[in-house]
Structure 1
Amino acid sequence: MGLVKSAAYSVHTTKSKIMKAIIRIITIVLALLYWTSSSLAEDMSEIVSKHVAALGKHANRLHSIQIEQKLLSNGVESIQTTILVPKHFFYQQMILQGGQVLTYVRDSLGWSLNSFVSSKVRMMSPQECATFLLLNTQMLGPIYEYGTDSINGPVQTITLEGDDKIEEEPCHRMKVVYKGGIGETDVYISKKSYLIKMTVNVLGKTFFSNYRSVHGIVFPHRIEIINAYGKAVGDVLSIKQNPSIDFDRLKITP
C-alpha cells in the first residue's frame, strides 16, 4: 500500500510540476505578447505624435482651407479649386477645355455636375453625402485626424504594419480603418521627415512630395495619383487658410 501511495504521490507530484511548468510557460508567452503589443502600440503612438508635430506648430489653427492646383492627366491640363470644412463642407470645381466638373456637398445636401457627361445636376443622397464628407474633408490626412481627435474623427483604428521603402526612402507602413465600414487606406510615413510619402486604397496609389510650410503649416505641393485610368499630377498654385466662404454663391442646384 505504501508503494502504491508513493507511486500515486509521485504521479501527482509529477503532474503538479508539469501543470506549474505549463502555467509558467503560458504566463511567459502572455507576458511576451503583452510586451510586444505594448511596444508596437508605443512605437505607433510615437510615430503618430512625430507626424502631428511635423505638420507644423499652427496645424491646430486650421479650420477650413481653399486649394488651387494645376492638374495634368493623360495629356489634358486643368485648373482645380477645392474648398474644405472638415465633416461639413466640400466644394470642388475643375475647369477643362470644353467643360467643367463641379461637386458641392454641405452637411446632408449634395449635388454634382459633369458637363462632359450631362448638362443635368445630379443630387446626392444623405448617406452618400455623409460618406463623401468623411473621406474627402480631411485637410491634413487620416493620421493627423487620429492623433488629434481619435474619438470624434473619421478614423476607427490605426495599426503599424511594418516597414517599407517608397522611392528608396525608408517608411513606416500603417493601416487606417475608417468608421462605419466605409473603407481602409495604407499610409506610408517617411522615417526621415515623418510626413506622408504615399497612400494606397481602392482609388489607387497617391504620392505626396514637395512639402512646404505655409503660415506655420506644412502641406504637400505635388500630388501624383496612379490607378487603372492612368496617371494624374497636381501642382499646388495657392493655399488659403480659413478663407471666408460664401456657401450660397458656390451652391449648384438642379
Structure 2
Amino acid sequence: MWQQFLGWLAKAAPSDNPRTLLLEYRKQLIADGVEAEDAGRRVATITSLMKTRQDGWQVIFNNIYSSASTGFSTRPNALLMSAIEGRPTGRALDAGMGQGRNSVFLALKGWTVTGFDVSDTGLAIARKNAEKAGVQLTAIQKSEKEFDYGVAEWDLMVFTYVPFAVENAEYVQRLRRALRPGGLVVIESFASEAGSAGRRPVDIDPAALRRAFEGFRIEKLEDVLGSPDWTTDKVRLVRMIAEKKR
C-alpha cells in the first residue's frame, strides 16, 4: 500500500499541502475502482505510516513546494517571533526548514542560521528567499536522523509542523546536549493525544511533550484552538517555548 502511494506520488500534479495531496490520492483510488470506504481506510493507513516511513517526505514536499499556490503560511511563525523578542542573537537551528520562512526571518534579525530539510526543492527556494532578503543562511539537505545536532551548538532550535519525536524523552536529551545553557526550543504543531484515531504525522501530545521536557524551564505551553500555519481551519494546536536551564 505504501509503495503504491509513493509510485502515484512521484507522478502526481503539485498540491498546495499534504491534506490536499491525500484527498487527490483518495480520488484517484476511487477512480481506479476502489470502493470509497476502502479508499478512506487506505488513506488513513498511509497517514499513520508517514510518522515512521519517512522515505516519502522528500517526494511529498518536493511536490508541495513545486505548486504555484501555497496552502500554508509563508510568513514567519508568530510564536517564534514572540519567543525571540528582546533576546540576544546567537546561533539558530531551523529543523525541517522548508522554504525558509523562519530561517530568513531569524537571519534578518541578526541570528546566524542553519536549517535542514529533506526537500531539495524547498531548500532551493529557501536559498533564493535568503538572497532576495539580502541575508545569509546555511541550508543542508539531510533527514532528521542524518543531521548531527552537535553538542552545545545552538542558542535557539525551532520545530514548527515537523514529524520529529519531540514527545520522546530520549530525543529531547539529544536536543538538550545540542543547546547552549539558556538556549530556547520553540515548538508549534497540531495537537492530539497519543494513540487517538486520525492523528497527523506532525501531531504532538501536549502532556507527553511536557513530560519529555521535564528539567527545562517552560516559558509557555499552550493547548488551544487556533489558526495553524498549514490550514485556514481552527484546529487544536500545541505551542511551547522551553529554555535549557543555565
Give the strand-richer structure, 1 or 2.
1
TM-score by length of 1: 0.28
- Structure with the greater relative contact order (CA < 8 A, sep ≥ 6): 1 or 2? 1
**TM-score w.r.t. length of structure 2:** 0.29
